[in-house]
Structure 1
Amino acid sequence: MDTRKEKFPYGIPGHNLSEVEREIPVEEPPVWPINDKLKVIGKRVTRIDALEKVTGKAIYTSDIKLPGMLYAKILRSNVPHATISSIDISKAKSLPGVHAIHLIENTPKEGEENSTGKYPMVKYVGQPLAGVAAESLEIAKEAVSLIKVNYEKKPFVIDLEAAMELNAPIVFDAPITKQQDGGDVGETHDGSKGEGNVRGPSTSSFFGGPRGNLEEGFKEADVVVERTYRTQVHTHMPLETHGVVVDWNADVMTVYASTQNTAAVRNEMASVFNLPKSKVRVICEFMGGGFGAKHSAGSFGPMAANLAKKTGRPIWLMLDRQEEHLAEGNRPNSIQYLKIGAKKDGTLTGIQQRSHGTAGVGLGAGVGRIAQILYTCPNFATEQYDVLTNAGPGAAWRAPGNVQGAFGLEQAIDEIAEKLNLDPLSYRDHIDTSEVRKVERQRGAELFGWSRRKPAGSSKGIVKKGLGVGQSTWPRFVSLDSSVEIKIHKGGGVEIRSSVQDIGTGTKTILAQVVAEELGLQVKDIKVNIGDTFFPVGPGSGGSVVTGSITPPTRNAAFEAKTALLKLVAKKWETDSSELVMADGQVNHKTNTDLKMSFKEATKLMRTSQISKIASRSDDYGGFQQPWGLAYGDLGSVQFAEVSVNTDTGFVKVDRVVAAHSCGRPLNIGQLESQINGGVIQGVSYALYENRVMDNSTGHMMNANVDQYKVPFSMEIPEIETVIVEEYSGRSSTDAYGIGEPANIATAAAIANAVYNAIGVRLYEIPITPSSILKALSKVS
């Protein structure tokens, strides 16, 4: 591969900005300067689909209506553990308006593996058993209610600690090797290890395994903090539930899906039905939110396709809110033990971590890598266990694992600082080597007014004020399977094509910004067509992976298309294309001011109707930490929280959050702020409100709804201020990364530290409720 050397901006403007030389492929575009020298990138650009969304013109999956379409409903188990002796569908089948019924049989693709019986073993309340397609949703619901299932009930276990007992009912009597829908990376993938319902431990991550000698590390320690922290099960509740519309009337199966990963749904459906990928088309033009659980076709995708196959008509199948809570993913809970030692000067000497969590019938209940990599410590070991229970499977939930892990780690770090009589913020300056988080601490503390912080418990009056801080880290993941096609049409139109989906975070807009910057156009000049697997493959929206994966090939393809167009102009002007530039909608000669032409006029020189260029994600300049796409550097944040705690009622109000973040080169400031705002709100909700409540006697979730499953309303949302730190590392043609995950990792930890600062008593479990506050203050037993 031919390469050339280029100098890139390196570091943080206003702090340590310098240059770094990188060797890059010769065909890739020249270096962009920092944002203040660019015209479109790094600015507040209105979302290109904003008008469609606010006026109701945007068509979401649930809005799809096709000729002859039928409506489907899924029959779900109402017992947590059983074998099925029979399913009687006769009454449902004879109901007028019912067109087809599909029973899930005992196959690995459609149900849990079971060596006996025709039907899958029931493992949790809400497990799908059958589906009905009917003329209306009301008829489908009635038909489902007429299906009679004969269960042979078995003992079950819901509670995490009860499931860990050796005499607990066994959820699975065989190894579990299938990881459910994107759980944490740090947990065990090998479900054969362990006893009873306990699987594991996982003792390593892609950052390596244990290091140093813990015994020696704790011997060196002058202070030790040893605590157990608990976090709750946190279910998914996006505005748009999971669902699909499947049209399989022709040679190609078309799936309209509310998904974070069009390519994964395409691949899964092709596998289930033994079709070439070219025969499955997945479309997601607009999507009403997903926090990690919408990466697969689930059980509803194959169900809708089977019903479409049986009826020869399109099938609409969207889940209701109860189904969403029960069966489509949750953030697993955790019981995590931490032991941390430090010397008198604050140097960490040892971190020992042990965690147990349940992702129900799935794996993925680890507490992440944050304790392993956030702070410098020579001696570290972790044991992370999955505990199987008779509950719905967990799924990725915006920074899986790390949110739970940060809640424990960041409180323990505050306790170490207190034992050493150090300010918790300045203590992090001592043990955190990240230069960008150092700047985030400085700038965030100044905006927040950290100097106002007083000793814990010293606030006067019934309503006590407290200030807290928490930090986060998240890897820079890059998906190399990320491609984009750029078309320049004769007459001036510019089009972007990729299967990458916009889940509401603004991907369409940043792609248009990148192309507009490269071609010297305005964002409104760019047509973005994404979310369709008939276009070049794009990455799934998870792990903060999209921006760092898809924007470099977008720019590279635009650069190639621009180069081809400039060669045509250069030929007309009898000059070299290297002497030409595109800016402000024109093609100009660098030195001869008489030579200029509008972009539209330039496209008329094309011999064909379009110039089309496709580019795929290349390796980061300088390579990766791991060849599969673990980039150097991280996505970090520092969040400050101010709370008011009423010591008579126990009510906690988060008054203000200052969130300082970095994500490489910021592309759209307004969208970044929106992402951070959302992450903070979800973090507040996790810290104070959300909690799956299970009935241990029946196995049912008691608050599978939107009124008793508590999330904050407008008056409970704090004032949120953001600090976005530009950080350049010269790793790709855009040098940009995502913000989704770190936006909510540190929030709950910062709130917990602020509550301690207010009342002088530390809480080691979330959600922090009025009763837990009063109990901590010994006002209730």
Structure 2
Amino acid sequence: MEDELPRRREKFPFGLAHLGLDEVEREIPADEPPPLAPNAELTQIGKDIRRWDARNKVTGAALYTVDVHLPGMLHAAVLRSPLPHARIRSLDLSPAAALPGVHAVLTVVEPPADGASMVLRYVGQPVAALAADTPALAEAALRLIRVEYEPLPFVVDLDGARRADAPIVYPDSEWQKSPSAGLPAAASDLPITGNIRGPESKGSRGDIGAGFAAAEIVVDGTYDTQVQTHCCLEPHAIVAAWHEDGLDVWMSTQFTAGVRAQLARHFQLPLSRVRVRAEAVGGGFGSKSQIGVYGRTAVALSRLAKAPVRLVHRRDEEQMDSGNRSSSEQHLRIGARRDGTLTAISLHSYGSAGIAFGAGVGNMVTALYRCPHVESRQYDVFTHAGPACAMRGPGNTQGAFALEQGIDELAEKLAMDPLALRDVIDPSPVRREERRMGAESIGWTRCQPPGADQGPVKRGMGMAQSLWSANVQTNAACELRLWRDGRVEVLSSVQDIGTGVGTVLAQVVAEELGLQPEDIQVRIGDTEFPSGPPSYGSRTTASITPPARTAAWQIKEALFRSVASAWQVDPQRLTVQDGWIHLRDAPQQRISWQEATATLRTDRISAVAGRSDDYAGFRSRSGDAAMALNDLGGVQFAEVAVDTETGVIRVERVVAVQDCGRPINPLQIESQVQGGVLMGVSYALLEERILDIHTGWMLNPNLVDYKLTGAWDTPQIEVILLENYQGFSATDAYGIAEPANIATAAAIANAVYNAIGVRMRSLPMTPAKVLHALGAVSGGPH
């Protein structure tokens, strides 16, 4: 057990670097390195280092899953349901199987255990799949499959699904087979009535009635957020090769080790016989976290055909059936005393993850602000639509849109500045400093009363806050290999989905070994290497950089022993810097890195290190997942211009003040924050899955009709990073992807209110909604 290993006490830097650092003492495992100095004293960590895979990506040399071509490889195609709800009366695969060049055909939809007819529950649900010599032949063969559907009543909208006479998505207990979206409100023991499941009440506390009775000011409102789809540039893709020795898979995935475990379990194979590779991944915001139906289908086809099989989603399949951010309807009520102290928060939310469950709106209302009486009742509503899945800040992104507008509305009623109110109710000293820095940068003192601008184009300013847990994957490891010729390799199955984890691994190892990042060969994205963490939940850097540094430190200590033996000195007298090993007290006595490694007794030495617990312990843990004691926060400010004649909102500037513990590569972190802001702008103003309530079909399943933020919509983005040292791990680094996205839409909504004096409580904030809101306020059409 970890707590039975030898330990020692060390003093770590503690606090916000720009305000001056203190020290904190921690007890750490004896086989882990001493504390790192602050970034200002380091040579590689905390510096803007070029991405390790930049050259391969810009030259086209990077190998994505769609670039994998194996000898004898077949191409898969999937037959999908044209109906949102139907019973399959008959399914004949034989005409397709008889077509020359078709090597495997199978049924994808699972029959009920009682032998009843198979039921389909959304347009695009996989029915059958096949593998053929060419993509064109596979598509032609699909048209030969004969299916008799019995159409059934369906409902695809939230309001309709809650009606007493609504078509039921899951009769009896069949809902228990529904996929979990991996989101809040996904507890397994919630009651279900009709299509409504819940409520999930996690975080509720106190007496809500007493809380509102004590309130002197109350605000309430209803907020709606839409379904946002995953739009990864690289679609979901897999190449599966079943063979006598096991299974090889190349996959665009956010979790190679997790996919390996799921495949081994599903196909009853030992972990050692499943290999998963993801050399380059073209984006993933949560939808590529699991093996999925499409992944299991490709493997099953490969096993049946006895040949490698390639399955790649078309863009319409990607939009309809690769997951999405669930919708929400939030009824929020907040009570406070006149000094700003909160007395009660009540949230009743309804959301749909389609046929999945987990449409909650996170823990913003229960965890962000200090309040003694909190009621959180979050309901899932099943509809005949494709299942949702985790998506960048799942739940909290929707929750922030409502809560942060409600807090601003409360501030207005209290005649308080929104920042001053948050100073009263927000217990986080880090966010307090972030508010101060962001306000200074954006010029918050310029903020005018709502609607004060004259003329048709009105400008406004707003802000909002984010909250996300500092997540850690304890099943995360790195191997460090040092060769006699001086070559250094860092190996882990962790995958780089574009966030730059390979770069930070090279920086951490180079810092410890006194080398340059380009001296480190990064080998990741392959389950032949030690298991790496997933690239989701803002946990990757926090999970993989500590073991990488620990392994590098252990290798360095071994090298020091080898050199010390040759020099006949104490290894503790040695140090390494800029590629030279020398004596601390006699730096003129030195040898180069290559000369030092030549003293090794064997051609290669290696060290494998795993992620230890945070030095101060975890707040909670479940299996391989744990939550650190600190949260990941952030404060964002937005400036907007609203054309009251056209209804067009233009976000002109965003200031994002974020913290993620110790920043390893500030340039990459800024890129992450910019991406989160752009996704938030897109969510706030443009993106929306539109389903035809009469057919269940998605009307915009492409990147022409489904609108995304483009170059014209991109605001000026200023990123301010805090160095927030806590002394929790060997690197003290944590994630930033989710917090960078959570607050953006809420900040924009508050800025729009400041510009026009009208609350926008529904996403996306389209020109039509703006004009409608303005018309409603003025008492007539605008």
Answer yes or no: same fold by TM over 0.5. Answer: yes
Q: Would the aligned equivalents of 1:114 and 1:121 in 2 still touch at CA under 8 Å?
A: no
Q: Would the aligned equivalents of 1:188 and 1:200 in 2 still touch at CA under 8 Å?
A: no
Q: What does residue 93 of structure 1 align with?
A: 97
Inter-partner Cα distance in structure 1 for 2:706 and 2:144: 29
Q: What does residue 387 of structure 1 align with?
A: 381
Q: What does residue 47 of structure 2 align with?
A: 43
Q: Alpha carbons of 1:518 and 1:549: their partners in 2 closer, same or farther (altered >3 Å)? A: same
How much does 1:16 deviate? Answer: 4.6
Asked if 1:669 is matched to 2:666, the reply is yes
Q: Structure 2: which amino acid aligns with 1:437?
A: R
Q: Alpha carbons of 1:179 and 1:739: their partners in 2 closer, same or farther (altered >3 Å)? A: farther
Secondary structure in 2 matching 1:391: coil
Asked if 1:565 is matched to 2:585, the reply is no
Q: Would the aligned equivalents of 1:9 and 1:729 in 2 still touch at CA under 8 Å?
A: yes
Q: Structure 2: which amino acid aligns with 1:311?
A: A
Q: Structure 2: which amino acid aligns with 1:133?
A: A
Which string of whole-angstrom CA distances, capped at 9 and with x for unpartnered residues, describes residues 394-427 of structure 1?
Answer: 0000010000000000000000100011111222
Q: Structure 1: which amino acid aligns with 2:176?
A: T
Inter-partner Cα distance in structure 2 for 1:324 and 1:46: 31
How much does 1:217 deviate? Answer: 1.2
- Identify which of 664, 680, 689 aligns with 2:686: 689
Inter-partner Cα distance in structure 2 for 1:341 and 1:555: 48
- Identify which of 357, 371, 375 aligns with 1:363: 357
Q: Alpha carbons of 1:177 and 1:562: their partners in 2 closer, same or farther (altered >3 Å)? A: farther
Q: Would the aligned equivalents of 1:166 and 1:195 in 2 still touch at CA under 8 Å?
A: no
Asked if 1:500 is matched to 2:498, the reply is no
How much does 1:174 deviate? Answer: 3.4
Asked if 1:342 is matched to 2:336, the reply is yes
| Deviation larger for 136-145 or 767-776 | 136-145
How much does 1:182 deviate? Answer: 4.6
Q: Alpha carbons of 1:81 and 1:631: their partners in 2 closer, same or farther (altered >3 Å)? A: same
How much does 1:555 deviate? Answer: 0.5
Secondary structure in 2 matching 1:295: coil
Q: What does residue 57 of structure 2 align with?
A: 53
Total equivalences in the alignment: 770
Q: Structure 2: which amino acid aligns with 1:432?
A: D
- Identify which of 588, 594, 601 aligns with 1:600: 594
Q: What does residue 134 of structure 2 align with?
A: 136
Unaligned 5+ segments in structure 1 are: 108-112
Inter-partner Cα distance in structure 2 for 1:537 and 1:278: 12
Inter-partner Cα distance in structure 2 for 1:335 and 1:114: 35
Which string of whole-angstrom CA distances, capped at 9 and with x for unpartnered residues, describes residues 657-716 of structure 1?
Answer: 111100000000110010001000000000000001011111111111111111122101
Q: What does residue 737 of structure 1 align with?
A: 734
1:560-709 equivalences under 5 Å are 560-628=554-622, 629-709=626-706
Q: Structure 1: which amino acid aligns with 2:669?
A: L
How much does 1:434 deviate? Answer: 1.0
- Identify which of 158, 161, 169 aligns with 2:159: 161
Asked if 1:232 is matched to 2:229, the reply is no
Q: Alpha carbons of 1:349 and 1:192: their partners in 2 closer, same or farther (altered >3 Å)? A: closer
Q: Would the aligned equivalents of 1:102 and 1:131 in 2 still touch at CA under 8 Å?
A: yes
Secondary structure in 2 matching 1:177: helix
Q: What does residue 29 of structure 1 align with?
A: 33
Q: Structure 2: which amino acid aligns with 1:366?
A: G
Asked if 1:514 is matched to 2:511, the reply is no
Q: What does residue 13 of structure 1 align with?
A: 17
Q: Structure 1: which amino acid aligns with 2:15?
A: G
How much does 1:29 deviate? Answer: 0.4
Asked if 1:78 is matched to 2:75, the reply is no
Secondary structure in 1 matching 2:276: strand
How much does 1:595 deviate? Answer: 2.1
- Identify which of 302, 305, 309 aligns with 1:315: 309
Q: Structure 2: which amino acid aligns with 1:261?
A: F
Inter-partner Cα distance in structure 1 for 2:262 and 2:443: 51
Q: Alpha carbons of 1:462 and 1:151: their partners in 2 closer, same or farther (altered >3 Å)? A: same
Inter-partner Cα distance in structure 2 for 1:91 and 1:136: 17
Asked if 1:751 is matched to 2:756, the reply is no
Q: What does residue 543 of structure 1 align with?
A: 537
Unaligned 5+ segments in structure 2 are: none
Q: What does residue 453 of structure 1 align with?
A: 447
How much does 1:634 deviate? Answer: 0.8
Inter-partner Cα distance in structure 2 for 1:177 and 1:133: 31
Inter-partner Cα distance in structure 2 for 1:460 and 1:180: 52
Inter-partner Cα distance in structure 1 for 2:180 and 2:70: 29
Structure 1: 4+ residue segments shifted above 6 A: none
Inter-partner Cα distance in structure 2 for 1:484 and 1:659: 32
Which string of whole-angstrom CA distances, capped at 9 and with x for unpartnered residues, describes residues 735-774 of structure 1?
Answer: 0001110010000000000000000010111000101000
Secondary structure in 2 matching 1:248: strand
Q: Would the aligned equivalents of 1:520 and 1:584 in 2 still touch at CA under 8 Å?
A: yes
Q: Structure 2: which amino acid aligns with 1:134?
A: A
Q: Would the aligned equivalents of 2:65 and 2:251 in 1 still touch at CA under 8 Å?
A: yes
Q: Structure 1: which amino acid aligns with 2:668?
A: Q
Asked if 1:173 is matched to 2:166, the reply is no
- Identify which of 144, 147, 151 aligns with 2:145: 147
Secondary structure in 2 matching 1:630: strand
How much does 1:507 deviate? Answer: 0.5
Q: Structure 1: which amino acid aligns with 2:260?
A: R
Q: Structure 2: which amino acid aligns with 1:127?
A: Q
Q: What does residue 125 of structure 1 align with?
A: 123
**Structure 1 vs Structure 2: percent identity of aligned residues?**
50
Inter-partner Cα distance in structure 2 for 1:104 and 1:290: 25
Q: Alpha carbons of 1:350 and 1:737: their partners in 2 closer, same or farther (altered >3 Å)? A: same
Q: Structure 1: which amino acid aligns with 2:116?
A: G
Q: What does residue 110 of structure 1 align with?
A: none
Secondary structure in 1 matching 2:636: strand
Q: Would the aligned equivalents of 1:238 and 1:288 in 2 still touch at CA under 8 Å?
A: yes
Q: Would the aligned equivalents of 1:182 and 1:293 in 2 still touch at CA under 8 Å?
A: no
Q: What is the Cα-based RMSD across aligned positions, in Å?
A: 1.3
Q: Would the aligned equivalents of 1:179 and 1:364 in 2 still touch at CA under 8 Å?
A: no
Secondary structure in 2 matching 1:142: helix
Q: Would the aligned equivalents of 2:400 and 2:746 in 1 still touch at CA under 8 Å?
A: yes
Inter-partner Cα distance in structure 2 for 1:268 and 1:625: 27
How much does 1:116 deviate? Answer: 3.2
Q: Would the aligned equivalents of 1:180 and 1:364 in 2 still touch at CA under 8 Å?
A: no
